[in-house]
Amino acid sequence: MGKPLGIGLIGQKFMGRAHSNGWGQVGRFFDVPRAPALRLVAARQADELARFAARWGWEDSTTRWRDVIEDERVDLVDIGTPNDVHAEQALAALEAGKHVACEKPLAGTLADARVMRDAARKAQGQTFVWFNYRRCPAVGLAWKLIREGRLGAIQHVRAHYLQSWGGPDTPLVWRFKRKRAGSGAHGDLNAHIVDLARFLTGDEITEIHGAASRTFVKQRPLPDGTGTGRSDVDDAVLFLAGFKQGAVASFEATRNAHGHHNRNRIEINGAHGSLRWDFEDMNVLHFCDARADARELGWTRIMCTAAGHHPYAEAWWPDAHVLGYEHGFVNMAAAVCRAVARRKPELPLPDFEDAYQTQRVLEAALIAARERCAVKLSEVK
């Protein structure tokens, strides 16, 4: 095994935990050319940091994120902070010659995303974006089946990402402030399904045919209990799109769909067959082979846990000892460890260039909703 890959993490809440677990577990389950070493974590919560660092195995902690950039032990800077600070932190890390793994969406604004893309083009370090759902074995199998031509020409993509935590009692955290988040359910959830649609089809969206955006909850309680404040992001965004090779697609995101807790679902219909996947049953891929004998034509429910057959499955448990949310992050961390050692990951990893294309689609949909018109992606740069 090569020398350890020094990791520096910025952010220690939701994604901070998911990423810490990802880096921490890699060496236990995967043979990677360079195993992660958890050097330094930075975040704002001074009172929680030392305990967080000890619990998740970080050697040091700091409230100054630039310490991560300046630390010579750190080879890769992992960014798990709100969207408005991704650009500043990523640029500083790339400038210092580090690899960068940044959370999605790439940035809060297309302008920030573009600057990040441009910096990545010139940088020595590699870039990665945590579109973690690509690393679910069932999604990986879908990618492979499509590459093998089992669906034929893709004609139709239906994707939605529905959650239910965005009601009026949810406090005004950064996710509900446009200045910090860029958008609401759109950048949070549509970012994932646009990435999945682009990843699975291997095709690019060239036009947004129409979009609708709504904000239902306009005031929310302040987190410190002192009153209420303005929530100025979308609560729901729906849009229709067209792909370069002719397929049509629909995307829907909301955090106000009762009973749908994390329903990230994509269906792909091609000339020879169809696929569907739903994160709430993440180990399963449904496949319909339209060329099967008419007597047997229908959906096959595939449990994607077979070592040697389904991506990443061999690293984990015996067949059907199912995986969960956190495994996507461990799988991604393993893929990153391979990529920085110039080994090909089993499934393509999104970099800043790739995530910038997703950000263009998100931006085009927002313009379409605002202007009530169709938008060509060639006009959104």
Return residues touching ligand NAD (CB under 6 A). 10-16, 42-45, 65, 80-83, 85, 103-104, 130, 132, 188
One-letter amino acid for residue 366 of the chain: L
Give least dist CB 157 to ligand NAD, A. Answer: 20
Give least dist CB 254 to ligand NAD, A. Answer: 16
How many other CB atoms sit within 10 Å of the CB of residue 133? 23
Give least dist CB 273 to ligand NAD, A. Answer: 28
Closest by CA position to 199, among listed 252, 287, 246, 132: 132
Give least dist CB 173 to ligand NAD, A. Answer: 6
Structure tokens at 314: 């061999």
Nearer to ligand NAD, 58 or 287 (CB): 58
Residue nearest to ligand NAD (CB): 13
Structure tokens at 7: 């990791």
Nearer to ligand NAD, 131 or 243 (CB): 131
Nearer to ligand NAD, 154 or 194 (CB): 194
Give least dist CB 350 to ligand NAD, A. Answer: 11
Give least dist CB 179 to ligand NAD, A. Answer: 13
**Total residue count of the chain as it appears in this document:** 381
Q: CB neighbours of 246 closer than 8 A, spacing ≥ 6?
A: 153, 155
Nearer to ligand NAD, 135 or 338 (CB): 135
Residue 7's DSSP bridge partners are 38, 76
Phi, psi of 234 (to 5 degrees): -65, 145
Nearer to ligand NAD, 103 or 112 (CB): 103
Kindly give the residue spans of alpha helices, DSSP state H, lying in 296-372: 325-340, 352-371
Nearer to ligand NAD, 13 or 144 (CB): 13
Nearer to ligand NAD, 132 or 357 (CB): 132
Closest by CA position to 340, among listed 111, 26, 21: 26
Give least dist CB 154 to ligand NAD, A. Answer: 25
Closest by CA position to 235, among listed 369, 343, 91: 369
Distance between CA atoms of residues 55 and 304, nearest Å = 32
